[in-house]
């Protein structure tokens, strides 16, 4: 599964906003500069995040964006889904009973990739924006990487 820039940038921008969240709104231009994301692209993403109820905007001088909920009540999956990024690993159209093969059948590995998509969604649903901002995601990924590198030699 490949997460597009839309989902990655939305999470990056929300983490930036969350790590600096306070009482005053954050200008998108500041987030765009810090995260090296196009301001116009960020405006599009924040329009979707606002519609998704994850941020709220404040107009006028000193305006910008604030989180609409506390950090620990925003899931990474909420952010990705709010910007219309599907979390799936199959080639098949979501919600369709037809498969991705020319005869509308499902390939032999369909269930494998579908379950992978489900596991990714479950993981992203278990991680809050607070976990990201507070760097509470330390796990075994480094250990697993070391095991892979050792077995490749």
What integer pLDDT is reported at residue 140 of this predicted model? 52
Look at residue 104 in the predicted model and tell me its pLDDT: 63
The domain total for the chain is 1
Average pLDDT estimate for 130-149: 72
Residue-wise pLDDT for 3-24, tens only, equals 678 999 999 999 999 998 777 8
Strand pairing report for 64-67 and 55-58: antiparallel
Task: State yes or no: pLDDT of 67 exceeds 80.
Answer: yes
Helix (H) or strand (E) holding 56: strand 55-58
**Do 54 and 67 contact (CB within 8 A), yes or no?**
yes
pLDDT over 60 at 130, yes or no: yes
Sequence-ordered list of residues with C-beta below 8 angstroms from that of 85, at least 6 positions apart, any chain: 3, 4, 6, 7, 10
Q: 20-34, 46-60, 89-103, 104-118: lowest mean pLDDT where? A: 89-103
Residue numbers of the domain that contains 97:
5-152
The enclosing domain of 61 has a CATH number of 1.10.10.10
pLDDT at 45 over 90: yes
Which residues neighbour 20 within 8 Å (Cβ) at sequence distance 6 or greater? 26
The predicted structure's pLDDT at residue 21: 73
pLDDT at 93 > cutoff 80: no
- Residue 86: is its pLDDT beyond 80? no
């Amino acid at each position: 599964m490949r997460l597009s820039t839309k989902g990655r940038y939305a999470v990056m921008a929300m983490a930036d906003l969350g790590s600096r969240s306070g009482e005053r709104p954050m200008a998108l231009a500041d987030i765009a500069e810090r995260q090296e994301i196009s301001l116009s692209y960020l405006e599009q993403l924040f329009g979707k995040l606002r519609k998704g109820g994850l941020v709220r905007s404040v107009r006028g001088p000193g305006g910008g964006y604030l989180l609409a909920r506390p950090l620990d009540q925003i899931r990474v999956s909420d952010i990705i889904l709010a910007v219309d990024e599907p979390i799936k690993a199959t080639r098949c159209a979501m919600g369709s009973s037809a498969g991705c093969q020319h005869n509308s059948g499902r390939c032999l590995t369909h269930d494998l990739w579908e379950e992978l998509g489900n596991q990714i969604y479950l993981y992203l649903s278990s991680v809050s924006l607070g976990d990201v901002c507070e760097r509470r995601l330390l796990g075994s990924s480094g250990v697993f990487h070391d095991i892979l590198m050792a077995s490749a030699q």
